[in-house]
């Protein structure tokens, strides 16, 4: 057992006393001047001192572990000694990665998920995982930055108005952003964008382009027509060898890159938290909506009837409740329309509804739609059906 310097200093006086006492016993035995009782007394003293030395060594080899909050456990440091033979060491399974060990299974159906108070994306279906970010030990629904949604398969759509609202209010909200005052609308199967080139003195511009997925799962916006001051510029730009990359600087904008005349959008960085990680395999314009398909886009078997968000397995903090083996489903009080969910105001939506506990101690929370909550003036809680 390796001992610290403080332990050695503590044990050294005991070792000297032990040696002195043993010498006294030998001298007393030779001269036969001490009684048998005194000899036994020295043996008891020596045994007691040896016990104190062993206790000190054990006490110095232990430290108190600090308490932790929502922090993931750190992997143990490798042993400094020689490797143990495989024949003598017990077989152990490989430790799970942080994502495997802390991910909560998620499934959503017909959810209007708010990106802000005025913009929302419609999640038709989603299957994936809610994964804590950084050193967070678990997803905490009160903190949108504590988790990400890793999408395996989903169908998500957004209106051009909601897309413009998100770009203006979040992506290009900084004073030094290259674009300002964007408006977006659908023109057949094309995306029509108007705005101002803020980095070029607020020059008004408009562009018409198509959407397609890239090989790595991002979204390509290909510009077919470009105007400035209502004058067609695409031909002039081509004539002088100028492309969009020469005009638009996106180096300070996370989630947007420029490839010649195309914008490349990364949805995992572009949208506000909680961030969505997943590969876009198809994107199209349908019913005046921009529809993105993640993975196969196929929906799994429904876990509940109606509109819902379900979270199962591992640790999850939901309001003041922490579940070690999560079984939480948020359901719509009014299944006639999508579940209107705003993460920033979900507690108010919970208070306006009611909850039930399943026989296996799962939680089913029935919430009021955010838009209806606002119109009702945050009215009293709903009464659960009998």
Residue 26 backbone dihedrals phi, psi, to 5 degrees? -65, -40
Are 180 and 221 within one domain? yes
Q: What is the pLDDT of residue 178?
A: 83
Asked, for residue 91, whether it belongs to a domain, the answer is no
Tally of residues, the chain: 386
Q: Are residues 153 and 200 in the same domain?
A: no
How far out from the chain centre does Cα 310 lie?
17
- Among 111-120, 182-191, 261-270, 303-312, whose mean pLDDT is lowest? 261-270
Same domain, 152 and 164: no
On whether both 325 and 352 belong to a single domain, the answer is: yes
* Of 221, 239, 271, the domain-final residue: 271
Answer whether residue 73 is part of any domain.
Answer: no
* Percent of the chain clearing pLDDT 70 (strictly above): 65
Contact 266, 277 (CB under 8 A): no
Whether pLDDT at 245 is above 80: no
Contacts 24+ apart (CB under 8 A), 165-171: 165/115, 165/116, 165/118, 165/119, 166/115, 166/116, 166/119, 166/271, 166/272, 169/116, 169/118, 169/119, 170/115, 170/116, 170/271, 170/272, 171/253, 171/255, 171/256, 171/270
- 176 vs 273, higher pLDDT: 273
Name the phi and psi angles at 92, rounded to 5: -125, 145
**Structural domain contains residue 88:** no
- Mean pLDDT over residues 178-184, rounded? 91
In the prediction, which pLDDT does 2 show?
Answer: 44
Is 61 contained in some domain?
no
**Residue 297 vs residues 68, 127, 128, 289: alpha-carbon distances, Å:** 39, 9, 11, 16
Same domain for 309 and 384:
yes
Q: What is the pLDDT of residue 302?
A: 92
| Run of H or E including 313 | none
- Secondary structure (DSSP) of 157-181: EE-HHHHHHHIIIIIT-STT-SEEE
Mean pLDDT of 97-112: 83
Average pLDDT over residues 317-326: 90
* 255 & 206 share domain: yes
Given a cut of 60, whether residue 162 has pLDDT beyond it is: yes
Chain mean pLDDT for the chain: 76
Domain contains 147: yes
Residues 201 and 122 in one domain: no
Q: Are 105 and 198 found together in one domain? A: no
Per-residue pLDDT tens over the stretch 360-373: 999 999 999 999 98
183 strand-pairing partners: 194
Are 165 and 260 part of one and the same domain?
yes
Q: pLDDT-based confidence at 107, cuts 50/70/90?
A: very high
pLDDT confidence of residue 385: 52
| Of residues 179 and 156, more confidently modeled | 156
pLDDT band at 318 (very low <50, low <70, confident <90, very high): confident
Residue 223: per-residue pLDDT: 86
Mean pLDDT of 98-118: 87
Residue 232's DSSP bridge partners are 227
Domains contained in the chain, number: 3
Q: Is the pLDDT of residue 32 over 80?
A: no
Residues 177 and 242 in one domain: yes
Strand-pairing partners, residue 380, are none
Range of the domain at 211: 160-271
Tens digit of pLDDT for each residue in 196-228?
988 778 888 888 999 999 999 999 999 888 787
Identify the pLDDT of residue 52.
36
Can you tell me which residue has the tokens 């999640």?
Answer: 123
Dihedral sign, CA of 14, 19, 20, 22? Answer: positive
Is residue 84 a part of any domain in this protein?
Answer: no
Percent of the chain with pLDDT over 90: 49
226/239 same-domain check: yes
207 and 145, same structural domain?
no
Q: What is the DSSP string of 20-78?
A: HHHHHHHHHHHHT-S-HHHHHHHHHHHHHHHHHHHHHHHHHT--PPPP-SS-PPPPPPP
197 inside domain: yes
Please compute the mean of the pLDDT values over residues 2-9 and round it to a whole number: 43
> For residue 140, is it within any domain?
yes
Q: Which of 51-60, 219-228, 353-362 has the highest mean pLDDT?
A: 353-362
CA distance 284 to 212: 7
Question: Does the pLDDT of residue 92 top 60, yes or no?
Answer: no
Helix (H) or strand (E) holding 372: helix 370-375
Please tell me whether the peptide bond between 123 and the residue prior to it is cis, using omega within 30 degrees of 0: no
Report pTM: 0.70
């Amino acid at each position: 057992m390796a001992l610290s310097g403080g332990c050695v200093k503590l044990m050294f006086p005991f070792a000297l006393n032990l040696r002195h006492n043993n010498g006294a016993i030998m001298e007393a035995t030779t001269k036969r001047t001490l009684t048998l009782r005194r000899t036994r007394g020295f043996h008891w003293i020596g045994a007691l001192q040896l016990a104190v030395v062993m206790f000190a060594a054990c006490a110095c080899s232990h430290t108190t572990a600090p308490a932790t909050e929502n922090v993931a456990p750190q992997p143990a440091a490798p042993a400094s000694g020689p490797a143990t033979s495989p024949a003598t060491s017990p077989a152990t399974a490989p430790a799970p990665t942080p994502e495997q060990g802390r991910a909560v299974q998620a499934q959503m159906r017909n959810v209007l998920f708010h990106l802000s108070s005025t913009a929302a994306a419609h999640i038709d279906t989603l299957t994936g995982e809610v994964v804590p970010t950084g050193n967070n030990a678990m997803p905490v629904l009160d903190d949108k930055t504590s988790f990400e949604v890793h999408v395996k398969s989903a169908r998500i759509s957004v209106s051009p108005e909601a897309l413009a609202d998100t770009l203006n209010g979040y992506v290009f909200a900084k004073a030094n952003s290259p674009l300002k005052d964007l408006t977006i609308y659908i023109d057949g199967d094309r995306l029509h964008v108007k705005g101002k080139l803020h980095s070029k003195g607020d020059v008004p511009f408009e562009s018409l382009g198509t959407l397609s997925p890239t090989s790595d799962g991002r979204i390509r916006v290909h510009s077919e027509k470009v105007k400035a001051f209502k004058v067609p510029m695409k031909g002039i730009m081509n004539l002088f060898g100028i492309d969009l990359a020469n005009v638009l600087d996106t180096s300070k904008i996370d989630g947007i890159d420029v490839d010649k005349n195309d914008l490349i959008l990364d949805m995992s960085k572009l949208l506000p938290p909680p961030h969505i990680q997943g590969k876009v395999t198809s994107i199209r314009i349908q019913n005046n909506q921009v529809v993105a398909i993640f993975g196969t886009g196929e929906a799994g078997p429904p876990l509940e009837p109606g509109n819902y968000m379900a979270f199962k397995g591992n640790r999850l903090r939901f309001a003041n409740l922490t579940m070690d083996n999560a079984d939480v489903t948020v359901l719509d009080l009014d299944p006639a329309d999508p579940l209107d969910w705003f993460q920033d105001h979900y507690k108010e939506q919970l208070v306006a509804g009611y909850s039930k506990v399943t026989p296996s101690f799962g939680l089913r929370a029935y919430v009021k739609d955010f838009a209806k909550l606002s119109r009702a003036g945050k009215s009293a809680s709903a009464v659960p059906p009998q």
